[in-house]
């Protein structure tokens, strides 16, 4: 058995890579990590043992050598080309994820430069889920390891959760999202053994007035050595 550090992968805009990735404990061997290359405009994450968690991603160029084969020198000279991506929302919590490394998805951060999509990700165990109705609090706890919040939303996405004895008109809006919920939860809970966060407007603000909301959180417990890398 061997131990793997966090892996970094590059996706050229004209090549597809497929990965059978390592597990949550960063344990891997040759049979666990496999790379297949085909001519295409997409890259694909495949997690055999857990769920995807994107650590960081950039669409651009930060060196002259990556994805530089047969590319004119003037198209690789700009090494300060950055474009933050929405891969977190596209891929986090999924078993697999396919995203094109093209300008139409990420926009063009540096015209005339041949770009690549640079992604760090890990596979984590199936997340724990906890829900608190508006006015109550969610409690997150890790007996082993430290908390890492994967997904969070303060709002409403169905009619049944936290709907008992609530008037129908207060549960009819199923498109209620607070986009900063994950950041709020991560700030309060990541790296801790336990945390409690109230599901109230004063913490998250009100994404949909008149709707009875709830706080829906997915999290995993990670090893202490992982936390500094994940933030």
Same domain, 100 and 212: no
Instruction: Look up the pTM and report it.
Output: 0.54
Q: What is the CATH number of the domain that holds 113?
A: 2.60.120.740
- Residues 60-89 have pLDDT tens digits of 999 999 888 899 999 999 999 998 777 877
Same domain, 172 and 64: no
Tokens of 108: 């063009």
Report the chain's mean pLDDT, rounded to a whole number: 76
The share of the chain scoring above pLDDT 90, in percent, equals 46
Residue 44 belongs to domain spanning: 2-124
Q: Among residues 124, 147, 176, which one ends one of the domains?
A: 124
Q: Among residues 124, 155, 174, which one ends one of the domains?
A: 124
Q: What is the mean pLDDT of residues 180-207?
A: 96
Q: What is the dihedral of CA 187, 191, 194, 195, to 10 degrees?
A: 0
Which H or E run includes 204?
helix 201-204
With beta carbons less than 8 A apart as the criterion, state whether 227 and 146 touch: yes
Same domain, 116 and 96: yes
Same domain, 84 and 187: no
Q: Among residues 105, 124, 143, which one ends one of the domains?
A: 124
What pLDDT is stored for residue 109 in this prediction? 92
- Residues 111-132 have pLDDT tens digits of 999 998 888 776 777 788 999 9
Residue 166 confidence class, pLDDT cut points 50, 70, 90: very high
Which H or E run includes 230?
helix 224-230
What pLDDT is stored for residue 224 in this prediction? 56
What pLDDT is stored for residue 48 in this prediction? 53
Same domain, 136 and 114: no
Same domain, 119 and 152: no
Same domain, 63 and 109: yes
pLDDT at 100 over 90: no
**Domain count of the fold of the chain:** 2
């Amino acid at each position: 058995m061997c131990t793997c550090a966090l892996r970094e992968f590059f996706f050229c805009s004209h090549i597809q890579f497929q990965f059978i990735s390592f597990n949550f404990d960063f344990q891997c061997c040759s049979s666990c990590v496999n790379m297949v290359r085909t001519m295409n405009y997409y890259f694909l994450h495949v997690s055999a043992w857990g769920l995807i968690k994107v650590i960081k991603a950039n669409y651009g160029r930060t060196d002259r050598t990556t994805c530089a084969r047969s590319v004119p020198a003037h198209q690789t000279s700009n090494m300060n080309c950055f474009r933050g991506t929405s891969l977190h929302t596209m891929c986090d919590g999924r078993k697999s994820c396919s995203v094109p490394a093209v300008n139409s998805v990420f926009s063009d951060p540096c015209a005339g430069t041949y770009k690549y999509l640079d992604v760090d990700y890990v596979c984590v165990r199936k997340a724990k889920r906890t829900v608190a109705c508006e006015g109550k609090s969610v409690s997150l706890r890790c007996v082993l390891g430290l908390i890492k919040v994967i997904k969070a939303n303060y709002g409403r996405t169905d009619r049944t959760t936290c709907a008992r004895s609530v008037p129908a008109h207060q549960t009819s809006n199923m498109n209620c999202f607070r986009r900063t919920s994950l950041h709020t939860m991560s700030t309060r809970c990541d790296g801790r053994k336990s945390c409690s966060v109230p599901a109230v407007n004063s913490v998250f603000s009100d994404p949909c007035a008149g709707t009875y909301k709830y706080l829906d959180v997915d999290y995993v417990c990670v090893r202490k050595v992982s936390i500094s890398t994940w933030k």
